Amino acid sequence: MTQIDLRGVTFNIDESRGGDAFFMMGVRKSGSSMFFKMAKALAVHNRYNYVDIAGTLFNKNIKVGEWVKDPAINAIIKGGNVYSGFRTFPAGAWNSPVFRTAKKVLLVRDPRDALVSEYFSNAYSHSLPKATSGTGARENLLVQREIALATPIDDYVSTRARMLARTLADYKPILADEKMLLLRYEDIIFRKDEMIQDLVRHFGWECSPAKIREIVSQVDVVPTEEVSTNFIRKVVPGDHKEKLTSATIDKINRDLASVLRTYGYA
């Protein structure tokens, strides 16, 4: 392994294997935590080096905005590694030939449900990195927690809709990539075994039925009741219809119109 520094954080990169790189990407509050756990298990099972860029930097209290557009990220992008943890498009890697030719998977969710989930997460359950000197990801999340707790859910999602629309729009350049597999939360949340099979086929990996069952057992959590403060609060699609007023839904439908069409949620 080669140790390479990014933003003062050391990453272990396999420079010996070569071939395609692999990118596991998602959108916040779209089942990404579950997805990345499965991705890591599959990568390790297939003897690939797993590099959680976003998660590692988050745990070091580094804000996404400080690195996501920085071309310095390309120093740690090498063929033969699996890169994961992305909840925003890694724009800094766009000009990397390794990224351009990499096999990619993107997990999305109905953004209206994602906005509702974001409200409860920011208010009650989002994990926080350890405090460091200066203002980082932790401080941003604490501010969001105060705002969410002090704001009615309809007002909160209304103010966040355009931001989530931009996040989804940023991924549009790779949707036509022949090496890109798009997964929708609604299609896989209750059939995770089939999702793993789709991933394995797309990446050219292997995973036995017994191993698939083992991986699914580690992430297949479906709450029997909704508890607002739980990290896994509710997984059933269509939550926005229960939590938001019709006026709010009409407003965010307008703000999200383009990405709703792009991702098949119109």
Place of tokens 């509702």: 116
Q: Are 260 and 253 in contact (CB under 8 A)?
A: yes
Please indicate whether residue 80 or residue 130 has the higher confidence score (pLDDT).
80
Residue 89 exposure: Cα atoms within 13 Å on the Cβ side: 17
Q: Are 13 and 49 in contact (CB under 8 A)?
A: yes
Return the pLDDT at 226.
55
Q: How far is CA 96 from the centre of its chain?
A: 21
CATH, range 2-262: 3.40.50.300
Q: Summarize pLDDT for 26-78 with one digit per residue, the tens.
A: 999 898 888 999 999 999 999 999 999 999 998 899 999 989 999 999 999 99
Mean pLDDT of 204-216: 94
DSSP-assigned beta bridge partners for residue 3 = 12
Which residues of the chain form beta strands (DSSP E)? 2-6, 9-13, 22-26, 49-52, 81-86, 103-108, 180-184
In whole angstroms, what is the distance from residue 210 CA to residue 215 CA?
9
Domain boundaries, the chain: 2-262
Task: From 244, 259, 118, select the one nearest 184 (Cα to Cα).
Answer: 259
pLDDT for the residue numbered 121: 87
- How big, in percent rounded to 5, are the helix, strand and coil portions of the chain? 50, 15, 35
State the Cα–Cα distance between residues 81 and 20, nearest whole angstrom.
8
- Say which range, 64-78, 120-134, 142-156, 215-229, has the weakest mean pLDDT: 215-229
Sign of CA pseudo-dihedral 92, 93, 95, 96: positive
pLDDT of residue 236: 79
- Higher pLDDT: 58 or 133? It is 58
Span 162-189, pLDDT tens digits: 999 999 999 999 999 999 999 998 887 8
